[in-house]
Structures are given as structure tokens and as C-alpha cells.
Amino acid sequence: MTTPIETLEFQSEARQLLQLMIHSIYSNKDTFLRELVSNASDALDKLRLESYRDKDLGADTSDLHITLEADAAGRTLTVRDNGIGMTRDEVVALIGTIAKSGTADFLTKLKEAKDAAASQDLIGQFGVGFYASFMVADKVTLVTRKAGTGEGVRWESSGEGTYTIEPVEDAPQGTAVTLHLKPEDAEDHLYDYTSPAKIREIVKKYSDFITWPIRMQGEGEDAEVETVNSMKALWARSSSEVTEDEYHEFYKHVSHDWQDPLETIRLQAEGTFEYQALLFLPSHAPMDLFLRERKRGVQLYVKRVFIMDDCESLVPEYLRFVKGVVDAQDLSLNVSREILQQDRQIQLIRRRLVKKVLSTVKTMMTADAEKYATFWREFGRAVKEGLLDDFENREAILEISSFASTHDAEKPTSLRDYVSRMKEGQEHIYFMTGESRSAIENSPHMEAFRAKSYEVLVLTDPIDEMWVDGVGGFDGKQFQSIAKGQVDLESDEDKKATEVAREQQKKDFESLLTWMGTALGEDVKEVRLSSRLTTSPACIVGDTHDLTPTLEKMYRAMGQELPPIKRILELNPEHGLVTGLREAHASRPEDEGLAETAELLYGMALLAEGGELADPSRFIKLLAGRLEKTL
Ligand code: ADP
Ligand code: MG
């Protein structure tokens, strides 16, 4: 029987990515080796774990290692491991496609990228793993046999659209990736990946910390096989021994990110419960930060042995972007995710990690404002979810948060800074939520605050709507929406002076307000005079404890049943339209046109806050009628 060779097509995303790699616009080609070694190391981790869990696996775990085999004459380089390997279907699924979430998004952005530098930057953010091989090879052969199975698979491709796949009889356990190096790199010793010196240099630089031996045949007649990496787990070494570059390369291995991290965080606990943590804040958000199938980035080790990726018990959801490793000394090697969730020691580690991450960011705020700004731009939206979830650290999260504000259009402000700028006698932290900065800034609610130069936080993330009501306050000051409840910006002195005038105003308008309340009764629950308007005739505000319109929309979109929420119409007693309406109503209470004016006034207030009219064509008809009369 002849063994069939199948030719299959790459998934289209994979094809596009491969094109990029073949035309190698990424400047640092050496990184291909880091990716292959990283995969080999993962495969060894997986096999050790699997054979520990499944005693009948029948795999050989006696000498797990990685081998680099260079053939200068044949111009090939092979990266071999005796790890977990892949079945045929796994090869098709894992190598023939990219399953990474956010891929489509990444490719769209890449198409929009203006120049080579921008594309490079994007590739760095995305990370391409195995396909990095095609930066240096014009053909790649992969032979693999899944540990515990009998038959191997051979995969081969030049990266141009298709690959072949066929069974092989006598493949060793694990995976061997052979790169047929591009001829153009042969002359240039900078890129001679068959040179042992070059290979050694790359391994030292990118993969030294890999905890499995990386072996290579030495040069010369009777040279022996040597181990080219030091294999020291970085987190177990004292920080003075580890260079920043080493931390950065380790970060790239655990995160699959190609860019340096923003910050490295170390934590060590000795005593009865010993553990080490080496954590990183990335310098950019992953493509899947807000996708449903997103993962968390902390790996769990027990006594240097890799136990699991994406250990959700170690970091809360809102810190899912934190990457790194926790190595606990006293856990059992066969802990499961379920056990971890209950484990008291794990909960203690988690609490400490969270506090450490938050305090690191807090330090960053003053020590390196630019770095902090990057952090907040990339991860602020995720961090703010903690205001809903993590009651214990609420104050600390508020402390490291920044918000857009009317104080400075360019730069967000911390709450601490907001509080330091509060006016004499100001008791609240004022904010407004909305869909965009311009909608908020141009809303009538802002008028009196602007006129009296009170600073207002401009909250435009959907999540802001959710936390701001529940959080209460910061530093003893309550958050107060400028679009809700009554506002009172007058000082006590001003109040006295205007009290008499106010009383008079109330009397003057009483009959208008009562009448309008009835006329607009289907839409609003109250019509009252406003102290927040200077130039607009009217605005709509919510009752103190009512849902905001955005939240209402969100809940309805999620399919929640809500009773209709009526809001309050506030009139500006200084505005000509309002005073005119009052006079007209006093002299001709029966005039039916007045109800239409009231309706128009309400419609304008609705539009001014970015709301939608219930019946736009009616509004336009009424308005056109009025305009016509003015001509
Ligand atoms: P990533 O490592 O980020 O998942 P890669 O493109 O590097 O992406 O690899 C894709 C997948 O192929 C890996 O997740 C792994 O499942 C599989 N794979 C790659 N190399 C090996 C290997 N040497 N042994 C076993 N599986 C491998
Ligand atoms: Mg990889």
C-alpha cells in the first residue's frame, strides 16, 4: 500500500500571514529561532505534565531536551524536541490555521498600516509563532509523532498557499522542524543560521532561561555535544543576577508577545508557604482583551515544573493582561483548576499579586508619568472593571485610575489631582457620562459648570456607567452626575442674595410648570426650573437614582425588561423662549399652539443631550410650521 500524500490549503488568515513572513518585513529575523525553541519547550512541558497525569501514556520522558542540528552543506537547520508531538489532525488544526482570537482584526489593521514601520510594529504586537520560520526558510519540513501513539506525520510547505501532509512510519517521539534556509542569506554571515557561533549567540540572547537543555553538536573533529543554555529559571535567581534583557526575553516566551514589556514585577515569599512570582505588564493590549474567549496570562509552576497556562485562580479577570509565572513550592504536582479555586494558599497569593500590581502602577504614576500613561491607555478600560468586581481594592483602583476631564482636553487626570483642584466649598466630584467627549462638552448640563468653572470628569467608556453609581466616593468626596438630580453651585452668600428672586420666580412660573407637566406628561415625570443652564432654554435630567439613558439602552439591548423610565425637563427661567412661553400661557391659556411649543422645547432638550426623538417627522413638521410663520 502506498501512503497517500495529501495537499491541503492553508486557512485564508494563515495564508495572509505567511505572505508577510515570506516577504519578511520584520527586521529581526533571528527571532524565528526563539519561536521554535519556545514551542519545543512548551511541548516538553506538556509531555511531562501529561505523563504525570496519565501513567499509562507510554511515552519516554527519561531525557527530555531540545536539539539544534545545523547542516552547513545542505543549508538546513533542524529544531528537534522529544516532547508531546502532534497527531495528524492537530498538525492541520494548529499549523494549517491560526486559531488566535483577534487574527482577523489584526489583518485588517495590517492592511491599513501606512508604512513598513507600522506593519512591523503590528506584527510585533501580534506575534506570529511558528510562521516566523518563513522569514528565513523557503521550505519547512515538520515531522512529528504524538507521544503515546505509533504513527508519525510529515508536513511540508513553502508557505505559498498549500502544504502537504503524509503519514510516516518511523518518526521519533516529538517534533522536528527542519528549515531549508533561503539562499540569499547564505553569503551574509550575519544571517548564517548554520553557523554554530551564530546559533549559540541567538540561543544565549533569546532562550537562555529555557528550563530544558538545548543541545548542539560542537565544532571540530571530536567535539562533544554541548548544552548551549544555562537553564536557570529566572524567577528563582536573585534579581541582581538577571539582566533586563533576560527578563524581556523571558516575557516574550511566556506571553508570545514580540515586544518588550512595560514593567517587570518580582515577588518572593519565604517561610511556611514559599513561592516566587515573576510578572509583567505588557506594553500594549492584546487583540483579544475584550473578546469573550480571552485568556489570562499567568502560568502556574510547582517546584519549577510547569503546571498550567492561563491560571485564572491567580489573577482576577480585570487584571487578565498581566503575564508571567508563579512558582509555588508546596502545592501538589497534580493540582487541578477546581482544587486551585478552593485553595487558601492560592487565594493568599492572588491577594498579594493584586496588591503588588496595583502598587506598582501607583508608583509608576509618579515615577514615570509617560509609562503610566501608556499603561492606562492600553489597560485602563479593563482595570476599571475591577471597580465593580473587587470591593476590597476599590480605593486602590480608583487611586491608579485616570479620567478625561474638562480641566485639560489632552491629558486625563487622576482623582487625586482632581480633588486637589476642587474649588473652595466644592463637596462633590462632578462627572458626566455619555457617548463621546463632544456630546458631553456640548450638552446643556455643562453650561453652569462651565460658567462657574467647575471641573467635570468626562466619562465615555461604557463601563463608566456601571461603576460610577456603585462606587460612592473617593477620598471622602462623593461622585455626582451633573445630569442627574438637582445641582446647586451657588455659594451660601449668593444663595441669600438670590433667595427672594428665586421665590418670586417660582411663583411666576408655577402655572406654566404645572400646565407643561400635564401637557408633556407622557414623556416626562416633572417640569421644573433649572439652575444649571445659562444659554440653552431647557435640558433633561435624570432623578438621582434613575438609570442613565445609556445604561437603559444597554440593559434593553441585553434583553432586560424595564419599565419606561421618565425623566425630568428643566427650564431656563432666563431664556427668552421660556419667559415668552410663560407670558403667552398667562394671557392665552387656551391656545393650542402652546402645547406644540412645549413639545418642541422638549424635543430640543432631547436632541441637545444626543437623545433620539420618538417621532422625528412630527417634530420636523411642527418646527417647519413655526419657521414658516417667521418669514
Ligand atoms: P503559539 O505558540 O503562540 O501557540 P505557534 O504558531 O508558535 O503559536 O504554534 C502553534 C501551535 O502549534 C502551538 O500552540 C502548539 O500547539 C503547536 N506546536 C508548535 N510547535 C510544536 C512542537 N514543537 N510540539 C508540539 N506542538 C507544537
Ligand atoms: Mg509559539
- Count Cα atoms within 13 angstroms, Cβ side, for 268: 7
Q: Which ligand number lies closest to the CA of residue 96? A: 1
Contact 31, 258 (CB under 8 A): yes
199 CA distance to ligand 2 middle (Å): 19
β-strands 297-302, 323-328 pairing: parallel
In whole angstroms, give the CA distance from residue 244 to residue 260: 10
Q: Residue with the nearest Cα to atom 14 of ligand 1?
A: 94
Contacts of 467-473 with C-beta under 8 Å, sequence gap 24+, read: 467/384, 467/387, 467/388, 468/431, 468/433, 470/387, 470/388, 471/387, 471/394, 471/398, 473/429
B/e letters for 39-77, b = 16+ CB within 10 Å, e = fewer, are bbbbbbbbbbbbbeeeeebebebeebbbbbbbeeeebbb
Q: Say what the alpha-carbon torsion angle 440, 441, 446, 447 is, to the nearest 10 degrees.
A: -140
Whole-number pLDDT of residue 557: 83
177 CA distance to ligand 1 middle (Å): 11
Residue with cell 487626570: 413
Contact 155, 163 (CB under 8 A): yes
86 CB within 6 A, ligand 1 = yes
The secondary structure element, H or E, covering residue 567 is strand 567-571
Q: For 401-481, which CATH class?
A: alpha beta
Whole-number pLDDT of residue 223: 85
Mutate to test the pocket of ligand 1, among 32, 33, 42, 256 (most ligand atoms within 8 A of CB): 42
402 CB within 6 A, ligand 1 = no
40 CB within 6 A, ligand 1 = yes
Q: Is residue 160 classed exposed, middle or buried when 0-12, 13-18 and 19+ CB atoms within 10 A define those classes?
A: middle
What would the grid cell of residue 483 be?
445630569
The secondary structure element, H or E, covering residue 268 is strand 263-269
Contact 177, 202 (CB under 8 A): no
State the alpha helices, DSSP H only, in 458-575.
Answer: 462-471, 492-519, 549-557
Q: Which atom of ligand 1 is nearest to the CA of 84?
A: 25
Contact 307, 275 (CB under 8 A): no
Return all residues near 522 (Cβ < 8 A) that are at least 6 apart. Answer: none
3-state secondary structure (DSSP) of residue 435? coil
In whole angstroms, give the CA distance from residue 501 to residue 518: 26
Which residues does the chain have with pLDDT short of 70?
Answer: 1-3, 24-25, 186, 189, 491-493, 495, 497
3-state secondary structure (DSSP) of residue 524? strand
94 CB within 6 A, ligand 1 = yes
103 CB within 6 A, ligand 1 = no
Largest CA distance in the chain: 114
Whole-number pLDDT of residue 550: 76
130 CB within 6 A, ligand 1 = yes
Contact 159, 134 (CB under 8 A): yes
43 CB within 6 A, ligand 1 = yes
Residue with cell 445630569: 483
In whole angstroms, give the CA distance from residue 355 to residue 269: 14
| Sign of the torsion formed by the C-alpha atoms of 256, 258, 259 and 264 | positive
In whole angstroms, give the CA distance from residue 452 to residue 488: 11
35 CB within 6 A, ligand 1 = yes
- Per the annotation, where are the binding residues for ATP? 35, 39, 81, 86, 100-102, 125-130, 175, 337
β-strands 162-168, 152-157 pairing: antiparallel
Whole-number pLDDT of residue 24: 65
> Domain boundaries in the chain?
6-227, 234-373, 401-481, 492-630
241 CA distance to ligand 2 middle (Å): 27
Homologous superfamily of the 492-630 domain (CATH): Heat shock protein 90, C-terminal domain (1.20.120.790)
81 CB within 6 A, ligand 1 = yes
- Strands of 297-302's sheet in order across: 263-269, 275-281, 323-328, 297-302, 305-308
Q: Which ligand number lies closest to the CA of residue 309? A: 1
What 8-state DSSP symbol labels residue 526? Answer: E
Q: For 234-373, which CATH class?
A: alpha beta
94 CA distance to ligand 1 middle (Å): 7
In tens, the pLDDT along 511-530 reads 999 999 999 999 999 999 98
| Sign of the torsion formed by the C-alpha atoms of 584, 589, 590 and 592 | positive
Q: What are phi and psi of 480, to 5 degrees?
A: -140, 120
309 CA distance to ligand 2 middle (Å): 13
In tens, the pLDDT along 59-98 reads 999 999 999 999 999 999 999 999 999 999 999 999 998 8
265 CA distance to ligand 2 middle (Å): 23
84 CB within 6 A, ligand 1 = yes
Q: Say what the alpha-carbon torsion angle 120, 126, 131, 134 is, to the nearest 10 degrees.
A: 0
Return all residues near 40 (Cβ < 8 A) that are at least 6 apart. Answer: 66, 79, 80, 81, 83, 175, 212
Q: Residue with the nearest Cα to atom 16 of ligand 1?
A: 94
In whole angstroms, give the CA distance from residue 122 to residue 113: 8
77 CB within 6 A, ligand 1 = no
316 CB within 6 A, ligand 1 = no
Q: Residue with the nearest Cα to atom 12 of ligand 1?
A: 94
Whole-number pLDDT of residue 506: 85
318 CA distance to ligand 1 middle (Å): 27
41 CA distance to ligand 2 middle (Å): 9
Whole-number pLDDT of residue 532: 85
Q: Which ligand number lies closest to the CA of residue 84? A: 1
286 CB within 6 A, ligand 1 = no
130 CA distance to ligand 1 middle (Å): 7
127 CA distance to ligand 1 middle (Å): 12
Whole-number pLDDT of residue 493: 67
- Per the annotation, where are the binding residues? 35, 39, 81, 86, 100-102, 125-130, 175, 337
Measured at the alpha carbon of residue 73, what is the angle toward residues 69 and 74, in degrees to the nearest 5? 70
Q: Which atom of ligand 1 is nearest to the CA of 128?
A: 6
Q: Say what the alpha-carbon torsion angle 197, 200, 205, 207 is, to the nearest 10 degrees.
A: 160
57 CB within 6 A, ligand 1 = no
Classify domain 6-227 by CATH architecture.
2-Layer Sandwich (3.30)
Candidates 505, 520, 514; CA nearest to 606 is: 520
What 8-state DSSP symbol labels residue 438? Answer: H
What would the grid cell of residue 315 be?
489573577
